[in-house]
Amino acid sequence: MATTTTMCLVLLYGDEKAWATLDDEQRARLDAQHRDFAGALASAGHEQLGGGQLTFTADAVSVRRSGDGPALPDGLRHLGQRHDVVEGPYAETTEQLGGYYLVRTGDVRGLAELVASRLGEGAEIRPLVGGAS
């Protein structure tokens, strides 16, 4: 019987204020941790399809329907009639999305265990719609 695989997005969350204070040595250790994780993915039978590291939320721009949510801050500008464009993240949160991996796996639980054992960051693993094969 063929093994069922699922494509998953691994969303990595953490406190970007803490990330911002890392010195060069700590940053290098974190990079090595991710290289190690990428190698461990393949060794454990998971397939990494992509991934990326996001810049801090200060660089974010958010788009929402006109009239949604609280009053918009200064700096708002309009894009057509349907959206408001605002500098900053969608919502202020205690943890921020800092990066992601796109992984094809036959073992979501095993993937989660690998994330837990190799990366010192909180994560949410979400299957993709139509990602099972």
Partner 1 sequence: MRFVVLRYGTAPALGGGDDLAAEELAGADAATTVVWVDGRAHVLQGPAARDAGPVTAVRVLDAPHLDAVLGSLDAMPGATYEIRPCALVGGRP
Q: Could you list the residues that contact partner 1 (CB under 8 A)? A: 7, 9, 11-13, 30-32, 34-35, 38, 50-55, 57, 59-65, 68, 79-80, 82-83, 85, 89-95, 97, 99-102, 108-109, 111-113, 115-117, 119-131
Distances (CA, A) of 57 to 11, 20, 68, 120: 15, 12, 21, 20
Taken as a whole, the chain contains a residue count of 133
Q: Which is nearer to partner 1, 45 or 64 (CB)?
A: 64
Nearer Cβ to partner 1 (44/108): 108
41 by Cβ neighbours in 10 Å (0-12 / 13-18 / 19+) ranks as buried
CB nearer to partner 1: pick between 76 and 116? 116
Q: What is the smallest separation between the CB atom of 3 and partner 1, expressed in angstroms?
A: 19
CB-based contact 79:20 (threshold 8 Å): no
Minimum gap (Å) between residue 84 Cβ and partner 1:
10
Q: Check if the beta carbon of residue 101 is closer than 8 Å to that of residue 40.
A: no
